[in-house]
Chain A
Amino acid sequence: MAIYGLIASVIGVVAALWIDWFPPAAVQEAKDIDTLWDVLLIVSVPIFVLVMVVVIYCVRAFKARPGDMGDGEPIHGNTMLEVVWVAVPFVIVSVLAVYGWIVLDDIEAKKPDRLQVEVRGQQFIWRYEYPNPTGGKEKVKSYDLVVPTGRQVEFNINTDDVIHDFWIPAFRLKIDAVPGITTHWRATPSEKGSYDVLCAELCGLGHSTMRGSVRVVAPEEYDAWLSKTAAKAAEEG
């Protein structure tokens, strides 16, 4: 039974790690989260396999023969065994909780010189506001989300109407946009490209159409885009 369990666990873990679970990552923080996921898989698969193997073994080994009207052995418990299956899961979840906590602290760590981007949700679109490149107080408003690589971006999220949820799968992070308060998350874009922006909290009729995209570009390209957008906005007054 142990052999079968071991083989099944190895196959299960390899298969679970082989699956390409996540969409491409575009931020530095993603690596920690993806590794955490792999660790959870490596811990989970053998536990599931253990349960399956013992159940299947029991069914095969202790199945009643036709006409067998007897009873099983009257085993009422086993203190040693019960202590083990209280202690082992306790240790496993404690270790995982501590590990999860450490990762949480890491991915939420604030870096200096953050780019502040205001995000506003409304039924059913996202709007963004960027710091003025000329240093003015007036924010640069746009319906496009463009962020530079190599610099931590702090998203300050708010909503005009109901609850939305600002989610960029490639950035791995999401948080609700809640009426009355401003919520935040931070990520450091590292891979250039275009990625989906979604609303992940049911916000009404058009919820499933509340999809947009984010462009991760080189810092120079970001500066150029911002100046252009600011100039255009000034022109339109």
Chain B
Amino acid sequence: MTLAAKFKGPGWYRAALSIPLGILFGLGLTVGVRALYGYDPLFDGDAITTVALISTPLAFLVGIGCFDYWFYWAAGKPTREEDHSSHGAHTWKDYFKVNTDHKVIGIQYICTTFVFFVLGGLMAMVMRAELAAPGSQIVDPNTFNGLFSVHASLMIFLFIIPVFAGIANYVLPLMIGAPDMAFPRLNALSFWMLPTAGIMMVASFFAPGGSFATGWTAYAPLSTETPLGQTFFTIGVQFAGASSIATALNFLVTIITMRAPGMTFWRMPLLVWANFTTSLLVVIATPFIAGSQFFVLFDRALGTDFFNAAAGGDVLMYQHVFWFYSHPAVYIMMLPGFGIISEVISTHARKPVFGYRMMAFSLMAIVVLGFTVWAHHMFVSGMFSWLRVPMMITTMLIAVPTGIKIFSWIATLWKGVIHMTTPMLFALGFITMFTLGGISGIVLAVIPVDIYVSDTYFVVAHIHYVLFGGSVFTIFAGIYHWFPKMTGRMYDETLGRIHFWLSFIFFNLTFGPMHLVGVDGMPRRVADYAEEFATLNALISVSSFIFGMSFFIFLYNMISSWRHGPKAAANPWRAHTIEWQVSSPPPIFNFDEIPTVVGGPYEYGVPGAQHAIFKATEEKREPVAAE
């Protein structure tokens, strides 16, 4: 390919050209408008950066090639024959291009999000080093506030939410017998918006005045008054949010319209149910955080007064709109994990999921109830006080559908044939730790207790029990479970077990004592604390370092197994769901023959039961498995 062609076609060459153009466009637009209005100074760094933060990522997405086909279409040119040249990965380089294969996109998602997981984790390590003793250790308060803000933002928007989208991207179309997602090009765009958002948040550390330092909650009016770094969050969230919404739409359409013949809703694996319900949450709720951040952006950039009380702005409105997304977001970060656990437990305990329909109904119940509890984050916010008791009651009621799930998983274990594989260990770790996080959630819902422990380390403990002991354990379970399918290789069981036990033990030693310091009166989000909390904080810090290092065992296991691990069979877990009925890794277009679904997904122990059959190809099944 000639150099000129390289710059003309989609890819990194063109992106390298389009990024500076994006910056120039932002600069030109800002300076032009300021000149028109006669503003002084003409070159305002904050204003230019704000506009460039929007124009540059868009220019990058154009350059890398996310919009090529659509532009082509919109321009009315004759439709190009789809040659599938950007579908599927033939070399490692294909993972760094715009690709429309859901399996490639799934891997892109998972690898990218784990990069941000490591970055967010390292920030947590720096924070624990600072908090190992009272007083100031290694970072100043502004950096510290930035660290916990970026840590939380990366973990939420760049790890937990998108890694679930990545796992589902890979597995879900296979599970329902679809050749791909409904909108493969939209799928690619969703992925490429993510690194954009993540790099923006990390890059905020280089902004004058430091990174955004108002927590991931970015409460106004603090967030409308802080230096430029805040804008990196305000705009970064828009890209992460747009990515989320597009993926969720994609999942909804895929699940509704692309199920294989015979795959009725009541024959769908629970992972599909989980992503169906999660996608409903994302599509309904995510526009609210986008709105809240746009208001902040307007207050910052255009001088509006949405959150300026002195000019009639409403400070509490920010929190209502923010939490109207951010509470459902907790379930966006948990329901896909519920789906993973249902798959893992039934497969590795060789049992049908206990109460399958109730499991699906409880997911729906959580979706509905999830929208009725947002103000429990605001019991001490000074909002109208009558809303507190109804929100306490709805919050506590969520324990009922969640309880159904926990008890049903345990009942699934009952009389099973339990294989203590690494995914199973993480699933069991999840059940126990999530129960603890759920219980502390009930405690937090009781208003008089919440008033006392709000904004303390008790809350920090609670969210890490729910999001690490909960969500991240399910992510590990899922990654280990589908590793053979995704890579065609087996991971190392021994290393997997060591990873589980180290992280399980030191997770508890890190976050367990935080309940104690919280109730004892240590507020969260502080760079310094009173002398009386020193002992427990030292213990927490030491545990957290070992906890952090345990992750590198996982990383080593994944990388070395991917390169040199023993070849995996098509179906090493002898599972019934469809993704295991094709080769590992699956063929580029998933199925040579679309399967027909003839029964439930978890009919373990039922003689002769089958979930799906490859009708016309009974005799051709051998070559598929051997591929």
Say if A and B assemble together.
yes
A interface residue numbers (CB < 8 A to B): 19, 21-23, 32-33, 36-37, 40, 44, 47-48, 51-52, 54-55, 58-59, 62-64, 68-78, 81-82, 85-86, 89-90, 93-94, 96-97, 99-101, 103-104, 107, 161-163, 165, 167, 169, 172-181, 183, 196, 198-209, 211
- B417 close to A71 (CB less than 8 A): yes
Question: Can you name the residue of chain A whose Cβ is closest to the Cβ of B355?
Answer: A77
- A22 close to B519 (CB less than 8 A): yes
Kindly state whether residue B285 has any CB partner on chain A within 8 Å.
no
Contact of B428 among A59, A99, A174 (CB under 8 A): A59
From B64-72, B255-263, B397-405, the one touching the partner chain is B397-405
Which residues, 400 to 430 on B, are CB-close (under 8 Å) to A?
400, 403-404, 406-408, 410-411, 413-420, 428
Which residues, 266 to 314 on B, are CB-close (under 8 Å) to A?
309-310, 313-314
CA distance A201 to B349 in the complex (A): 46
Interface string of B67-100 (1 = CB under 8 A from A): 0000000000000000000000000000000000
With a cutoff of 8 Å between Cβ atoms, the chain A residues found around residue B523 in the complex are 167, 198-200, 208
CA distance A211 to B221 in the complex (A): 21
- A75 close to B435 (CB less than 8 A): no
With a cutoff of 8 Å between Cβ atoms, the chain A residues found around residue B221 in the complex are 161-163, 179
Contacts A75-B354, A176-B382, A205-B141 given; does A32 touch B448 at CB 8 Å: yes
B interface residue numbers (CB < 8 A to A): 141-142, 145, 213-215, 219, 221-222, 225-226, 309-310, 313-316, 349-352, 354-358, 380-382, 388-389, 392-393, 396-397, 399-400, 403-404, 406-408, 410-411, 413-420, 428, 431-432, 435-436, 439, 442-443, 445-449, 451-452, 454-456, 516, 519-521, 523, 525-530, 574, 603-606
Question: Can you name the residue of chain A whose Cβ is closest to the Cβ of B529?
Answer: A208
With a cutoff of 8 Å between Cβ atoms, the chain A residues found around residue B397 in the complex are 90, 93
- B604 close to A71 (CB less than 8 A): yes
CA distance A69 to B574 in the complex (A): 9
Contact of A51 among B214, B215, B226, B432 (CB under 8 A): B432
With a cutoff of 8 Å between Cβ atoms, the chain B residues found around residue A75 in the complex are 351-352, 354, 411, 414-415
Question: Can you name the residue of chain B whose Cβ is closest to the Cβ of A79?
Answer: B355
CA distance A197 to B396 in the complex (A): 31
> A144 to nearest B CB, angstroms?
19
- A71 close to B605 (CB less than 8 A): yes
With a cutoff of 8 Å between Cβ atoms, the chain B residues found around residue A107 in the complex are 448
Contact of B400 among A37, A93, A161, A207 (CB under 8 A): A93
Question: Can you name the residue of chain B whose Cβ is closest to the Cβ of A21?
Answer: B519
21 A-B residue pairings within 8 Å (CB atoms): A19-B516, A44-B443, A47-B435, A52-B432, A54-B410, A55-B410, A64-B419, A76-B354, A78-B354, A85-B404, A97-B445, A104-B447, A162-B222, A163-B219, A174-B380, A176-B380, A176-B381, A199-B523, A202-B145, A202-B222, A209-B141
Contacts A62-B414, A174-B454, A180-B313 given; does A204 touch B354 at CB 8 Å: no
With a cutoff of 8 Å between Cβ atoms, the chain A residues found around residue B516 in the complex are 19, 21
Question: Can you name the residue of chain A whose Cβ is closest to the Cβ of B349?
Answer: A72
- A77 close to B358 (CB less than 8 A): yes
Question: Can you name the residue of chain A whose Cβ is closest to the Cβ of B226?
Answer: A204
Contact of B527 among A19, A55, A162, A208 (CB under 8 A): A208
- B420 close to A63 (CB less than 8 A): yes
Question: Can you name the residue of chain B whose Cβ is closest to the Cβ of A171?
Answer: B452
- B413 close to A62 (CB less than 8 A): yes
Contact of A173 among B358, B392, B399, B452 (CB under 8 A): B452
Contact of A97 among B145, B392, B449 (CB under 8 A): B392
- A62 close to B448 (CB less than 8 A): no
With a cutoff of 8 Å between Cβ atoms, the chain A residues found around residue B389 in the complex are 101, 104
With a cutoff of 8 Å between Cβ atoms, the chain A residues found around residue B455 in the complex are 165, 167, 174, 200-201
CA distance A78 to B415 in the complex (A): 14
With a cutoff of 8 Å between Cβ atoms, the chain A residues found around residue B354 in the complex are 75-78
- A81 close to B411 (CB less than 8 A): yes
* A-side interface mostly: mixed
CA distance A162 to B219 in the complex (A): 9
Contacts A174-B455, A178-B381 given; does A93 touch B309 at CB 8 Å: no
- A178 close to B316 (CB less than 8 A): yes
Contact of A208 among B315, B407, B431, B528 (CB under 8 A): B528
Tell me which of A58, A172, A203 has the highest count of chain B C-beta atoms within 10 A of its own C-beta.
A58
With a cutoff of 8 Å between Cβ atoms, the chain A residues found around residue B525 in the complex are 202, 207-208
Question: Can you name the residue of chain B whose Cβ is closest to the Cβ of A107?
Answer: B448
Instruction: Known pairs A89-B400, A162-B219; list 6 more (Cβ under 8 Å).
Output: A48-B435, A58-B410, A59-B413, A93-B399, A104-B448, A172-B451
Tell me which of B221, B358, B451, B606 has the highest count of chain A C-beta atoms within 10 A of its own C-beta.
B451
With a cutoff of 8 Å between Cβ atoms, the chain A residues found around residue B449 in the complex are 33, 36-37, 40, 100
CA distance A102 to B436 in the complex (A): 26
Tell me which of A21, A48, A202 has the highest count of chain B C-beta atoms within 10 A of its own C-beta.
A202
Tell me which of B352, B452, B574 has the highest count of chain A C-beta atoms within 10 A of its own C-beta.
B452
With a cutoff of 8 Å between Cβ atoms, the chain B residues found around residue A206 in the complex are 141
With a cutoff of 8 Å between Cβ atoms, the chain A residues found around residue B358 in the complex are 77, 82
Contact of A58 among B310, B414, B448 (CB under 8 A): B414
> B238 to nearest A CB, angstroms?
22
Contact of A207 among B382, B410, B526, B606 (CB under 8 A): B526
- B528 close to A93 (CB less than 8 A): no
> A16 to nearest B CB, angstroms?
11
- B396 close to A96 (CB less than 8 A): yes
With a cutoff of 8 Å between Cβ atoms, the chain B residues found around residue A52 in the complex are 432, 435
> A138 to nearest B CB, angstroms?
25
> A226 to nearest B CB, angstroms?
27
CA distance A196 to B523 in the complex (A): 12
Contact of A64 among B313, B417, B456 (CB under 8 A): B417
- A77 close to B356 (CB less than 8 A): yes
With a cutoff of 8 Å between Cβ atoms, the chain A residues found around residue B350 in the complex are 64, 70-72
- A96 close to B411 (CB less than 8 A): no
> A95 to nearest B CB, angstroms?
10
CA distance A100 to B400 in the complex (A): 18
> B443 to nearest A CB, angstroms?
5
- B380 close to A175 (CB less than 8 A): yes
- B529 close to A59 (CB less than 8 A): no
With a cutoff of 8 Å between Cβ atoms, the chain A residues found around residue B413 in the complex are 55, 58-59, 62
- B521 close to A169 (CB less than 8 A): yes
With a cutoff of 8 Å between Cβ atoms, the chain B residues found around residue A94 in the complex are 396
Question: Can you name the residue of chain A whose Cβ is closest to the Cβ of B420?
Answer: A63
- A205 close to B309 (CB less than 8 A): no
With a cutoff of 8 Å between Cβ atoms, the chain A residues found around residue B392 in the complex are 97, 100-101
Nearest 10 A/B pairs, CB to CB: A180-B309, A208-B526, A72-B416, A71-B605, A169-B521, A74-B605, A179-B309, A183-B382, A100-B446, A93-B396
Question: Can you name the residue of chain A whose Cβ is closest to the Cβ of B316?
Answer: A178
With a cutoff of 8 Å between Cβ atoms, the chain A residues found around residue B432 in the complex are 51-52, 55
With a cutoff of 8 Å between Cβ atoms, the chain B residues found around residue A173 in the complex are 451-452
> A114 to nearest B CB, angstroms?
17
CA distance A21 to B452 in the complex (A): 12
Contact of B448 among A33, A63, A89 (CB under 8 A): A33
With a cutoff of 8 Å between Cβ atoms, the chain A residues found around residue B357 in the complex are 77
- B310 close to A180 (CB less than 8 A): yes
Question: Can you name the residue of chain B whose Cβ is closest to the Cβ of A100?
Answer: B446
With a cutoff of 8 Å between Cβ atoms, the chain B residues found around residue A97 in the complex are 392-393, 396, 445-446
CA distance A89 to B413 in the complex (A): 21
With a cutoff of 8 Å between Cβ atoms, the chain B residues found around residue A32 in the complex are 448
With a cutoff of 8 Å between Cβ atoms, the chain A residues found around residue B435 in the complex are 47-48, 51-52
- B420 close to A59 (CB less than 8 A): yes
> B268 to nearest A CB, angstroms?
16
With a cutoff of 8 Å between Cβ atoms, the chain A residues found around residue B605 in the complex are 71-74
Question: Can you name the residue of chain A whose Cβ is closest to the Cβ of B224?
Answer: A162
With a cutoff of 8 Å between Cβ atoms, the chain B residues found around residue A62 in the complex are 349, 413-418
> B312 to nearest A CB, angstroms?
8
